[in-house]
Amino acid sequence: MTATQKRGVRVRFAPSPTGFLHVGSVRTALFNWIFAKQNSGKFILRIEDTDKERSKPEYEKNILESLKWLGLDWDEGPSPNGAQNNADDTQNNAEKSQRESASSRRKSAYIGDYGPYRQSERIKIYRNYIERLIGEGRAYRCFCSKEQLESDRQTMLAEGLPPKYGGRCRNIKKEDGEKRMKNGEACVIRFVVPETDVEFNDLVRGNVKFSGELMGDMIIAKSEDEPLYNFAATIDDELMEITHVIRAEEHLSNTPKQIFLQQALNFREIKYAHIPLILNPDRSKMSKRYLESSVNDYRSGGYLPEAMLNFLSLLGWHPKEEKEILGIDEIIKEFDIKRVQKAGAVFNIEKLNWINSQYIKKKTNTELAALLRIFLENKNIDAEDEFVAKVAGAEKERVKTIAELAEAAEFFFKLPDYGPELLTWKNRTAAETKNAINESLKMLDEIPEEKFAREEIGNALQQLIEKTGRGEVLWPIRAALSGQKASPDPLEIMGILGKKETERRLKIAMKKL
């Protein structure tokens, strides 16, 4: 159908709430979201929670919160009171959507302006379509037992045939099927898969062809009220007026199933883009450790949402120019779904770390302080904004994540315990070290408190450094102030800590010697 091109772009992200949102899924969400933004389209969030056992409200909550944190807002959904809106085939979509959006905003029970669509709330809708297919003889009840199916499978394999459902129940009359079901016989609902080929032009993979003949009639629902993924997704993609389905490559084999259903139900055509697998640096399939790390893990690990988006956008795509750091506006401008690669995309944590560090460096000290504060709170550290901002500024060039920043900055707030050996520079003796600290203290004491800043401190210590040696003076000071071997420049630390705290820490050091 050529009308597809003329429809306004509408895409969806359709996670199943069966676990915390992981980064592989976020890449899918992101590509959809970008595509919507580039085309002034709509990005729809649909929670595919028809699997009652595995779907959990806490996972849904996590999906919503993670998308919000990343700034991947969705554009519409039902109102917070749970009513369905514009994804109902009887409604005028645009008009209803506007009305709904206004009312949703008033009620702020939801995380976003809109609730997501939930398949569990749309069972009645799917039911209508199941009944329609059964009524038209395009779907039927199948009473085959597991054992029967397994033995059919074995027979086919023994005959060298690719296994598929052989259609034993296909000719059971509708009325007979209903009777047997009412009598309590266990059954599922199968869709009559046409024995023809299905072909589509994938935006990433080019022309793709599947044979219906090899597929066999597929189960679309366990019962009228228990639709399965391929069926519910097909119905929703039509009702939600989805124009482009952008999803992971592992769903490629679902696409012919969904196209057959669309054809049977006279639905509109959809364009597909199956985006590449995510691989380990050695090109093996992505290990759980990274891919299934949830967004939560990265968030609590101190990664910035903008760095995550930047990094994930480069998993399977890259801009025409050699560039690694791209803000979201740039990505929206340059992203091209047709240039997404077919080959697997390597997930390189070092690259994510590097990208994250670049974003950290670009932040102002005040911005960083706000982020740092959350991590400091977890360490029960509280301090004035100005102080936290200075600390963030001193450490920001040296860290890859905010968690690392908090780690590195901790000594500014609490002097860690350390042994006296840390204070001595090379093979200097304890007495020499103590003397150097004492001399430094005398010089520092000359600086009035309000002038106690890096430059002044440098000037005050200059003579002593020239006389005694740089390492001899500054090493013990660094150790005394930070309790560690590596830190920002000790002059800067003194400026941030202020005169009193500097002197206090230097005196503690002298006592250790």
Catalytic residue annotation: 288
Centre a 10 Å sphere on the Cβ of residue 146 and count the other Cβ atoms it contains.
8
Query: With respect to ligand GLU, which residue has the nearer C-beta, 25 or 86?
Result: 25
| Minimum distance, C-beta of residue 214 to ligand GLU, in the bound complex (Å) | 21
Give the DSSP letter of residue 14: -
Asked if 1 and 268 touch (Cβ cutoff 8 Å), the reply is yes
Query: With respect to ligand GLU, which residue has the nearer C-beta, 14 or 460?
Result: 14
Q: Is 37 exposed, middle or buried (0-12, 13-18, 19+ CB in 10 A)?
A: middle
Query: With respect to ligand GLU, which residue has the nearer C-beta, 233 or 326?
Result: 233
Say how far apart CA 167 and CA 124 lie, in whole Å.
28
| Minimum distance, C-beta of residue 236 to ligand GLU, in the bound complex (Å) | 9
Query: With respect to ligand GLU, which residue has the nearer C-beta, 41 or 177?
Result: 41
| Minimum distance, C-beta of residue 283 to ligand GLU, in the bound complex (Å) | 23
Residue listed under structure tokens 């990208």: 355
In total, the chain counts a number of residues equal to: 513
Q: How many CA atoms lie within 13 A of 94 on its CB side?
A: 3
| Minimum distance, C-beta of residue 136 to ligand GLU, in the bound complex (Å) | 25
Centre a 10 Å sphere on the Cβ of residue 490 and count the other Cβ atoms it contains.
23
Chain centre to alpha carbon of residue 432: 55
| Minimum distance, C-beta of residue 233 to ligand GLU, in the bound complex (Å) | 5
| Minimum distance, C-beta of residue 125 to ligand GLU, in the bound complex (Å) | 17
Question: Of the candidates 423, 502, 412, 425, which has an alpha carbon nearest to the alpha carbon of residue 460?
Answer: 502
Centre a 10 Å sphere on the Cβ of residue 4 and count the other Cβ atoms it contains.
12
Say how far apart CA 1 and CA 60 lie, in whole Å.
35
| Minimum distance, C-beta of residue 266 to ligand GLU, in the bound complex (Å) | 20
What residues line the site for ligand GLU (CB under 6 A)?
14-16, 48, 233, 247, 251
Chain centre to alpha carbon of residue 130: 34
DSSP, residue by residue, 67-104 = HHHHT----B---TTS---TTSTTS-HHHHHHHHHHHH
| Minimum distance, C-beta of residue 242 to ligand GLU, in the bound complex (Å) | 10
Query: With respect to ligand GLU, which residue has the nearer C-beta, 234 or 487?
Result: 234
Say how far apart CA 97 and CA 14 lie, in whole Å.
19
Query: With respect to ligand GLU, which residue has the nearer C-beta, 14 or 491?
Result: 14
Angle at 195 between CA 244 and CA 268, to 5 degrees: 25
Query: With respect to ligand GLU, which residue has the nearer C-beta, 233 or 291?
Result: 233
Angle at 48 between CA 46 and CA 51, to 5 degrees: 165
Centre a 10 Å sphere on the Cβ of residue 289 and count the other Cβ atoms it contains.
10
Q: Which secondary-structure segment (H or E) carries 58?
A: helix 57-70
| Minimum distance, C-beta of residue 285 to ligand GLU, in the bound complex (Å) | 16
Hey, which residues does 221 pair with through a beta bridge? Answer: 189, 227
Helices (H) and strands (E) in the chain, counts: 21, 13
Helices (H), 396-453: 402-413, 430-445
Side by side, which strands form the sheet with 218-223? 139-142, 188-191, 218-223, 226-227
Query: With respect to ligand GLU, which residue has the nearer C-beta, 14 or 133?
Result: 14
Q: Which two tokens stand for residue 482?
A: 């930070």
Say how far apart CA 261 and CA 65 lie, in whole Å.
33
Query: With respect to ligand GLU, which residue has the nearer C-beta, 144 or 291?
Result: 291
| Minimum distance, C-beta of residue 15 to ligand GLU, in the bound complex (Å) | 5
Question: Of the candidates 256, 217, 262, which has an alpha carbon nearest to the alpha carbon of residue 236?
Answer: 262
Query: With respect to ligand GLU, which residue has the nearer C-beta, 21 or 279?
Result: 21
- Strand pairing category for 271-275 and 278-279: unpaired
Residues with Cβ < 8 Å from 83, sequence gap 6 or more?
A: none
